[in-house]
A and B are shown apart, each in its own frame.
Chain A
Amino acid sequence: MTKPRTRVVGRPYPKVDAAAKVTGQTRFADDLTLPRMLHCKLLRSRRAHAKLVRVDASKALALPGVLAVATGADLPIAFGILPVSQDEHALCLDRVRFVGDPVAAVAAVDEDTAADALAAIDVEYEDLATIDSIDAAVATPEPRIHDYGDRDNFHKLVSMEFGDLEEGFANADVVRDDLFFYEGNTHLPLEQHAALADFGPDGKLTLWSSTQTPHYVHRALAKVLEMPAARIRVIATPNGGGFGGKSDPFNHEIVVAHLSRVTRRPVKICLTREEVFYCHRGRHPTLMRVRTGAKRDGSITAMHFQTALDGGGYGSYGVASTYYTGALQTVTYQVPAYRFDGARVFTNKPPCGPKRGHGTPQPRFALEVQLDKIAVDLGLDPAAMRLAHLQPANSLTANFLRVGSMGLGPCIEKVVEASGWRERRGRMPPGRGLGIACSSYICGAGLPIYWNSMPQSGVQLKLDRSGGVAVFCGSTDIGQGSDSILAYVVAEVLGIDPFDIRVVTADTDLTPVDLGSYSSRVTLMTGNAALQAAERARELLSAAVSEKLGVPGPRVAFAEGRVFDVEAPENGFDFADAVALAESKFGTLGTVGSYTPPPSAGRYRGAGVGPSPAYSYSAAVLEAAVDAETGIYTVEKVWIAHDVGKCINPVLVVGQVEGSVYMGLGEAMMEEMAYRSGVNGNVVHKFPSMLEYKSPTTMEMPEVVTFLVEDPDPNGPFGAKEVGQGPLLPIPPAVANAVFDAVGVRVDEVPVTPEKIRKALRAKEQGKTPRYGPEVFPAIPFPEPVHIPTPAEGGDGRARDRAATGAGGVRGPVLTTP
């Protein structure tokens, strides 16, 4: 695809909502108040795993200022983000599954009264045995945390094999077999989740919420409240940071809606920071075993990737997360034969789900560190080795992912050149090192979360004789700038100023469905929908103006707020007059656009996770300074290049890259969801507070040199691909690889802490393997793999033996292609 030439697209405009944000005028969910508004508080379990014998809120209801209470029995219908994991209740019904699981709710005249009333709720628990880790879950078939799932306390067990793995390993000159562990961490958005419900006298419910997915909240409310969806309106307020943490429908959203319906008064809740830690849905702690065969030139002959994910107490996106730990290994370097075995277990901890990179930072860490080890084993330059074996553009991977544009090569060259990799690596002072890693990420998922053949994104455009253009779209701005992207795309096509456009988003009553701000789908999908709607509007205006000017349609141009004859630019109309002409000719003007991803190539069970309209690519080189005595280290500088296809707005792209580097460094260096198991078996979060959950401050953030590589993808609007998540992925492995280059020890575990480096250095001093990391992968009863011949073997995307796909394969419609 040749690089398109554009006028608005590609310019570093401020965001359309920038002025509101820097003046404090953006209205976040907790900034909203309504007359007669009540405040809600949730009583959360202090037991990690117990039967609920009795929940009695009658004493709380009798207190002055308390208007309503609710317990699980009031809202008995289960919900969950995935159709195959409807395992949550608005308030626990008969069981609590982690410390923080909500048990009861109070609506009162103010927050203090509601909080005080929680103490008057009687709860009787009957403790059950708890599970606090992957190993414990594997070893404890009973009691089951949920009565569904593949078996015992395994939520999901999958296995699939693409191509002839044994032949691949037989052809290898070197086979590495390594274990890795990636600790869980959380999104930590600055804004605590908040929601305001108003059940009106007309019997209609409005919910304002800091959610990334108003469409799914809409569906969950209709289901649990047993109300027609048409009578429910969900408005996603601008999110004060999401990162995946506001992508599930949440208990508190349903509870305030219920309490508003009961009291016929508006009800608001704003979670405390501690409660945000309990909502979680963050990175799954993941144990990995990776066996990779390679030739002497570093080309991969076969890869066997095994993952075990600690899912916490509920399903959330976990089935998809599990598949994602095995999906994207193939899109960066050529992997001719590939097997993936994945397992997700339930534990008595807050549920894990999608955090920036969803299921792929863990395997990417393992893959990129192992490639570094292979390069060392073979005496190859890790950068050159990667560059020599890239997955080609416009190709099908072994697992039938369709790669379009592929700019990883230029990305590697940029960071290698800028960092002085060739000259400096291996010649740096003691304790200094460089590490490299690469990655790729999807631009939206090929299939929707619930099976349907409707568009994944819709846009409506309204034009009127004043020249005003309004864009309506269900997408949610979580800070990434999605409202602005809509304005830039429409402004480009219609030749007007993006700041003249009104953008209306994330309102299920007013805006066409967009599935939500997750999967890095928004720029590509809403961008394409907006492009289609704008082009249809352009056709209407063009027809009216061409008739009036008496010139053929193709000569009508749009730019600078005018519609004119391109061969005689003075001959034309102001945009408003052009709209008036079209309104006279066609009547009231409105157009729609929608986007549905192209069908994916895989036809096997499980093929639903991984396909995407396009893949972004990133490469990073990172410089670390390590104290070989203490293991204390700093990241001195990061060079990162990202193939974004085409920048809709470069300053926003740079901002997403820098933010991803930051969040990747937080995960790599310090952030962890850590738990303590008490003598009574209770599993308690060690530090659900921002003070002790360490995240990088201004003092830890290194210099970042960003390169934007534009390899336009035919499926992206103007060629654009994602940038919100991909650039996080190379950072954790680059940290581990830089530490190795600096002091010669491997930390095969995230976060890479000074303590772990010190332990590895101690092992080195004692003549043991200079490494810190997991030693054992548990015996997991993975099913027999489904065999899928690769494209190179003439495979058609289907499993070879369809009968064999029954065992342990995906059930339900979510992840199955027809």
Chain B
Amino acid sequence: MPSPPEIPSRAHVAFHLNGEPVQVSFAPHKTLLEVLREDLQLTGTKHGCELGECGACAVLVDGRPVLSCLVLGLECSGRAVKTVEGMGSAAGLHPLQKAFADLGAAQCGYCTPGFLLTAQALLDSNASPSLPQIREALAGNICRCTGYVKIFEAVELAAAWMRGEEAAPRRESLYGTDFDESGLLPVNQPEPVNR
């Protein structure tokens, strides 16, 4: 009977993940993306290419956005990693998350975690980014659903909220331009549905 195959050795790494210390062992060639998804079961971080082309796997390492498919898990020893699971809190959504939800900036939602973390890194360093600055900061993230328009608007809205302003989505963002609202009944006026 042949001897059972050799069991490959694993790396053992400790780092801070979403504010909590974690220790994890994994095959040493694994990327941070694979360690997060497969060994830590944090599947909020997505993959679209695993070659650094799409931005879907972006996470923050020590506050800076990195493509987790291009970083080895081994390189994260002792560092602070933040994923989409660490953005909000039990108290509620992060302003970026709420703005993305309110404006429909997440359609299929697959690229969304990568956009959210990249945008958070931008807002952490620039509380009032201009539209060209938002475009540039997000240029490494591909979205196939939204055409980016709602994403730009959501980042602007979240930035205003994070500056403490009482901002609301622009009417054009919600209804398009010159929308005829005569078909809407007032919310708080009870009358039967009329079809």
A interface residue numbers (CB < 8 A to B) = 3-7, 10-12, 14-15, 17-28, 30-31, 33, 64-65, 187-192, 238-243, 272-273, 414, 418, 478-481, 492-493, 495, 556-560, 562, 564, 566, 569, 646, 650-655, 657-663, 689-691, 695, 697-699, 701, 704-708, 710, 718
Contacts and interface: CB of A to CB of B under 8 A. Distances in A.
B125 interface: no
A22 B50 contact: no
B102 interface: yes
Of B50, B190, B194, most buried by chain A (CB within 10 Å of CB) is B190
Contacts of A646: 183
B53 A4 contact: no
Contacts of A566: 190-192
Given A191-B46, A655-B104, A699-B135, A479 B191 contact: no
A650 B109 contact: no
25 contacts: A3-B183, A4-B194, A6-B184, A22-B106, A23-B88, A23-B97, A28-B46, A31-B37, A190-B54, A190-B142, A192-B47, A240-B109, A243-B144, A273-B49, A559-B192, A646-B183, A651-B103, A651-B173, A659-B107, A662-B146, A695-B142, A697-B142, A698-B138, A698-B148, A708-B179
Please indicate which of the listed interface residues B41, B54, B144, B150 has the most CB atoms of chain A within 10 Å of its own CB: B144
A366 B111 CA distance: 34
A143 to B, nearest CB: 36
Nearest to A693: B53
Interface in B141-195: 141-152, 169, 172-185, 187-188, 190-195
Q: Which 10 A-B pairs give the minimum distances between C-beta atoms? A: A24-B44, A479-B108, A662-B147, A21-B109, A240-B110, A24-B84, A557-B192, A18-B101, A31-B43, A690-B53
A1 to B, nearest CB: 11
B104 A15 contact: yes
A558 B193 contact: yes
A689 B56 CA distance: 15
Nearest to B102: A14
A358 B150 CA distance: 25
B183 A4 contact: yes
Contact of B144 (A414, A481, A663, A708): A663
Contacts of B103: 651
B144 A557 contact: no
A589 B141 CA distance: 47
Contact of B51 (A24, A243, A663, A690): A690
Interface residues of B, number: 82
Question: Which interface residue of A15, A23, A689, A710 has the most chain B CB atoms within 10 A?
Answer: A23
B51 A691 contact: yes
A65 B59 CA distance: 32
A651 B54 contact: no
Interface string B38-81: 00011111111111111010000000000000000000000000
Contacts of A562: 190
A7 B43 contact: no
Given A21-B106, A689-B53, A691-B53, 16 more contacts: A14-B102, A23-B85, A30-B47, A189-B108, A189-B144, A240-B110, A557-B192, A651-B173, A654-B104, A659-B147, A663-B144, A663-B147, A689-B49, A695-B142, A698-B135, A705-B172
A653 B150 CA distance: 12
Contacts of A28: 43, 46, 110
Contact of B48 (A14, A191, A653, A657): A191
Nearest to A646: B183
Given A22-B109, A191-B46, A478-B108, A708 B175 contact: yes
Contacts of B140: 697
B17 to A, nearest CB: 14
Given A190-B54, A492-B193, A655 B97 contact: no
B101 A22 contact: yes
A658 B150 contact: yes
Contacts, number: 254
Interface in B79-101: 83-85, 87-88, 93, 96-98, 100-101
Contacts of A243: 144
B174 A661 contact: no
A569 B188 CA distance: 12
Given A663-B144, A705-B177, A5 B51 contact: no
B177 to A, nearest CB: 5
B177 A707 contact: yes
Interface of B: 4-5, 37, 41-54, 56, 83-85, 87-88, 93, 96-98, 100-104, 106-113, 116, 134-136, 138-152, 169, 172-185, 187-188, 190-195
A22 B49 contact: no
B110 A690 contact: no
Given A28-B110, A273-B51, A479-B145, A5 B184 contact: yes
B109 A479 contact: yes
Given A21-B106, A22-B101, A493-B193, A690 B48 contact: yes
A495 B83 contact: no
A190 B48 contact: yes
Contacts of B85: 23-24
B93 A23 contact: yes
B195 to A, nearest CB: 5
A653 B142 CA distance: 21
Nearest to A655: B104
B147 A241 contact: no
Nearest to A112: B27
Contacts of B141: 698
A707 B179 CA distance: 7
Nearest to A697: B139
B106 A18 contact: yes
A706 B177 contact: yes
A706 B96 CA distance: 24
Given A559-B191, A658-B146, A23 B183 contact: no
A6 B191 contact: no
Contacts of B184: 5-7, 10-11
B108 A650 contact: no
Nearest to B29: A112
B194 A5 contact: yes
Contacts of B93: 19, 22-23
A493 B193 CA distance: 7
A689 to B, nearest CB: 6
A188 B111 CA distance: 12
Contacts of B42: 24
B43 A24 contact: yes
Contact of B175 (A17, A560, A651): A651
B174 A654 contact: yes
B144 A188 contact: yes
Given A21-B106, A240-B109, A3 B182 contact: yes
A243 B151 CA distance: 19
A273 B48 contact: yes
A60 B134 CA distance: 50
Contacts of A23: 44, 84-85, 87-88, 93, 97
Given A6-B193, A23-B84, A190 B110 contact: yes
Contact of B109 (A238, A655, A662, A690): A238
Contact of B50 (A242, A272, A559, A718): A272
User: Max chain B CB contacts within 10 Å: which of A3, A651, A657, A705?
Assistant: A651
A480 B100 CA distance: 15
A703 B184 CA distance: 28
Contacts of B100: 18, 21-22
A200 B133 CA distance: 53
Report which residue of B46, B104, B146 has the largest number of chain A beta carbons within 10 angstroms of its beta carbon: B104
Contacts of B144: 187-190, 241, 243, 659, 663, 695
A655 B113 CA distance: 18
Given A6-B185, A27-B43, A690-B49, A22 B174 contact: no
